Every structure is written in C-alpha cells, then in structure tokens.
Amino acid sequence: MNGIRGIVFDCDGVLFESRKANLAYYNTVLSHFDEPPVKETDHANAHLCHTAASTHVLLHLLGEQRAPQALSIAAELDYRQFIPYMEPEPGMREALSALAGFYPLAVATNRGYSMPAILEHFDLSRYFSTVVTSRDVNHPKPAPDMLYEAAKRMQLSPHELLFVGDSELDQAAAKSAGMRFAIYRGDLQADLSLEHHGELVSLFVSA
C-alpha cells in the first residue's frame, strides 16, 4: 500500500484472542452486584465486552446508577489475574519483530489500565513506539480520538498510517480519522483484508 509510513494495531481480536479474559474480567465485576455472568452464547453482550471501553460496557450492563461503583471496582482489579486467559494471535510476535525494523508501530485500544501489564507480560513493549488507551483520550473508539493521538505521537499524518482492527468500532474510528483500515479475520469493508499477521510482513517488508 503506497504512502504507508507506520502501522497501528488494535489489541483485542488482533494481537490477542482475549474473549475469555474479557468475560472473566467483567463477570468478576458483575459478581459484586449479584448479577448473572455474561456467557459466550450471549453474542451481543459478549461482543460488547470484547470491543467497547469499560465505561460503555458497565453502563450498558448495570445502568447509570451502578456504573460509577462498578468502574471503581473494575479499577481496583489486578488484570494480571486474567492474562493467562489471553492467547497471542498466530504469527503475531514474528510479524511485529519483522515490521518494527522498518516502520514505527503503535497500539490504539479501548483498554485502559490493563494494557501496560499485558505488553509487559508478553514482552511486546519493545515493538511499539506508541501506546494509546482509552485513558489517554476523551472519547474511545468508535470516535477517532485515539487514532489522532497515535498519529500525533508518531509524528505522522493519519493518512500515512494503516490501522489494523477487527470490529465495527475500529472501522468507524479509522474512517473518521481518515486512516486506512485493515480488517483482521473479518468481513467488514476495508482497504485491506488480513487472515494472518504474516500477510503484513509480505506486503510491507518482503515486497
């Protein structure tokens, strides 16, 4: 893809298969309110837990009155207890290692406090020059705020970046930011469709 000078990655569903970890996290919060857990078969709520920021998830699951307390409980949880449920996507580490030698790489995720611990646990921090989370912006995805922030920190224009995501929130954020979008293992409309991280290496390093 001509003109691409850097690559931005979503976390959940792109760098990791993390549905089990996310459900375990939110279900721990729900247990404080004696609410039933969100199950994987509850596709709508499970997808929300996988893609949206905690403020939106807990507001949806618990309502306006209980959401502030739920956010406080969530902030006190040590996310490291849920990291063992996370599975790195196949070929992800090898692709990051290859790409980082040629392009600045970033993460833009609706995660908050948990992202630094995840990168440290999987020894991935070395590959990313920039990490932007929901705590760094006023509005999480689907707003374009964190993509603008990533571009600013990378000292590149949004149109010089490729954003790799897997959800409609990622798609909408990229479109609003004027950033080219690669859909990872999905069927959303995008500038590029990827089934494996190695395809990025073939396109941007091996070409």
pLDDT in tens, 65-80: 999 999 999 989 999 9
pTM score, whole prediction: 0.91
The whole-number pLDDT of residue 207 equals 58
Please state, in angstroms and rounded to a whole number, the distance separating the CA atoms of residues 120 and 19. 20
Please state, in angstroms and rounded to a whole number, the distance separating the CA atoms of residues 144 and 134. 11
Tokens of 52: 């949206």
Query: Is residue 206 scored above 80 in pLDDT?
Result: no
The partner residues of 165 in beta bridges, in order of sequence, read: 183
pLDDT in tens, 144-162: 999 999 999 999 999 999 9
Please state, in angstroms and rounded to a whole number, the distance separating the CA atoms of residues 34 and 168. 31
Mean pLDDT, residues 103-127: 95
Tokens of 92: 């992800």
Please state, in angstroms and rounded to a whole number, the distance separating the CA atoms of residues 72 and 147. 26
107: nearest Cα among 9, 206, 198: 9
